[in-house]
Chain A
Amino acid sequence: GQQLNQSPQSMFIQEGEDVSMNCTSSSIFNTWLWYKQDPGEGPVLLIALYKAGELTSNGRLTAQFGITRKDSFLNISASIPSDVGIYFCAGQGPRRDDKIIFGKGTRLHILP
């Protein structure tokens, strides 16, 4: 079946640094989604991508749908303390019955 690999598993950065994380899949996707989950809360959608090559921004966040349709990147610029949390990628294949598949998440820590 389809598999999604998200890396890195954890990141430790200084406040103000830029951050980059990515997801790769074993097969092509039609949709890439990026979520953030704060402790004790459900995931909240950050960015949705629907087209290969698409680059979309949401404030300091930018995500790209890879040209091969098998990868996606999320960048956070000038990180701030409230960026701490777990970031999940998710993707869905082109068939109507393809389920949404989630990566295992990247936990972002910001050092004082």
Chain B
Amino acid sequence: DVKVTQSSRYLVKRTGEKVFLECVQDMDHENMFWYRQDPGLGLRLIYFSYDVKMKEKGDIPEGYSVSREKKERFSLILESASTNQTSMYLCASLNSPGRKSNQPQHFGDGTRLSIL
């Protein structure tokens, strides 16, 4: 089974802090994703990466950056946290369409981040 592990289930930070959310997957998947989930808004894509050191903006990248130095790890960075970034953050991984098409995404358990 695919295992996507997010480093923290709950995190509390202060406004202006730099925040790192870590995600690791153990299935050698090329593609990794960061979403945030808010009531009434569903899942919104922040950034995704289709290879090491490659990244693409999703639908709501403002205020975030990402890092993919190794294939198994995809980090989400809040450069200067703000209260409107309080949310549930979900990481996902996906095999490459070129290797086997249309493979379902696998999600981590999520990090509930509160910015005070």
- Tell me the A residues contacting B by CB distance below 8 Å: 30-31, 33, 35, 40-45, 48, 50, 88, 90, 92, 96, 99-100, 102-105
User: Is the beta-carbon distance between B43 and A45 smaller than 8 angstroms?
Assistant: no
B: number of interface residues (CB 8 Å): 25
User: Is the beta-carbon distance between B48 and A102 smaller than 8 angstroms?
Assistant: no
Q: Tally inter-chain residue pairs, CB-CB below 8 A.
A: 49
29 residue pairs from A and B, CB less than 8 Å apart: A30-B101, A30-B102, A33-B104, A40-B9, A40-B110, A40-B112, A42-B4, A42-B6, A42-B90, A42-B108, A42-B109, A42-B110, A43-B43, A43-B90, A44-B107, A45-B104, A45-B106, A48-B102, A88-B42, A90-B105, A96-B98, A99-B45, A99-B48, A100-B105, A102-B35, A102-B42, A102-B43, A104-B40, A104-B41
CA separation between A8 and B106, bound complex, in Å?
24
CA separation between A41 and B9, bound complex, in Å?
9
